[in-house]
Amino acid sequence: MRRTALVLSLLCSAGARAATNDLQLWRLGSPDNITVCTICTGADNVAVPGDPSAQFRFARMTATLALAFAPAFEDQAQTTGQAGFEMGGGVQVAFPKLAPQEWPSEGTLGTGSPPQALFLPTVALRKGLGGSVELGAAVTWLTGSQTLVVGGQIRWAPLEGLYGLPDVALRAWATRLLGAQELNMTFGGADLLVSKSFGVAGTMRLQPYAQYGITLVDASSGPVDFSPGSENPSDPSADDRSFHRIAFWENRYHRVVAGLRMVTGSLLFGLEGGVAFGTNPVQHDSLPGGVSTQFTRVWSASARIGTTF
């Protein structure tokens, strides 16, 4: 019993420590005025003006994170059918283009070079319901962090299984970010997928596909302590502020993907590459002097191995 308790204690303490890709939002800077102290006796309060570029950095970071986590398709447009089921695991790699101050992680401290690639292992499944309708679910984890997303999707294929014609499907999906301290993010979208299946030597099917979609991102934060090294006991929240919300319907990104699946028997292997991009406001409420926008583009590649039956 003592040995078991010790192991559980070590696991819990390891999970509580920040990893290299765990985000520390206070390093982005406060978008609004705060009051800080040095000796913190109640007589040394100093007003610190807000940094207008902090909200820009927050918008760039959350856009990059959402586009990196956006689920790969890695499926043909044709559904699995009422009795069909498919499950697999893989990894998606996103290639962010961020300034050091735009990735405030434990590993970079907001000043070092941001990661050149983000690795996101994924477990996904699909289940056909009949009537060319299909449901899916996935869990994706950002390596080097305690951050993951859980998501679901629904797909309808208005054209599938017609001889000589490509299959066409429409997908709607939504995900929720978990495990990122103080960060609230929900994102989703809709896609159009076209694919065609070709038999090879009677033992394999090749399924090339192309996809276009829209990704929408809603991001905000809880109260952030922007001076964690000091705290005024008479007013502990004087250095706490929140980032301004980035609204779902105003924060839209285009996404274009191409991929290839190889299926032999019940085994499948897929490769996919894509790019997502868009220019959007950095916050929902108005800024002094007009609306500020940011442009984000993320390239990605992914691979999956699984089984279908």
What are the φ/ψ torsions at residue 177 (nearest 5 degrees)?
-80, 135
User: What are the extents of the domains in the chain?
Assistant: 53-226+242-308
Closest CA to 129 of 152, 150, 157, 89: 157
Q: What percent of the chain has pLDDT over 90?
A: 61
Q: Does domain 53-226+242-308 have CATH number 2.60.40?
A: no
Alpha-carbon gap, residue 186 to 245, rounded angstroms: 12
Write down the pLDDT at residue 18: 55
Q: What is the pTM of this model?
A: 0.88
Check whether 286 has a pLDDT greater than 80. no
What are the φ/ψ torsions at residue 302 (nearest 5 degrees)?
-150, 160
Write down the pLDDT at residue 3: 40
Structure tokens at 162: 């017609």
Q: Residue with structure tokens 């999906």?
A: 173
Alpha-carbon gap, residue 48 to 39, rounded angstroms: 16
pLDDT one-digit tens code per residue, 45-102: 788 899 989 999 999 999 999 999 998 877 788 888 777 888 889 999 999 999 999 9
Q: What percent of the chain has pLDDT over 70?
A: 92
Mean pLDDT of 101-108: 91
The distance in angstroms from the start CA to the end CA of the chain is: 44
Check whether 24 has a pLDDT greater than 90. yes
Closest CA to 125 of 78, 159, 75: 75
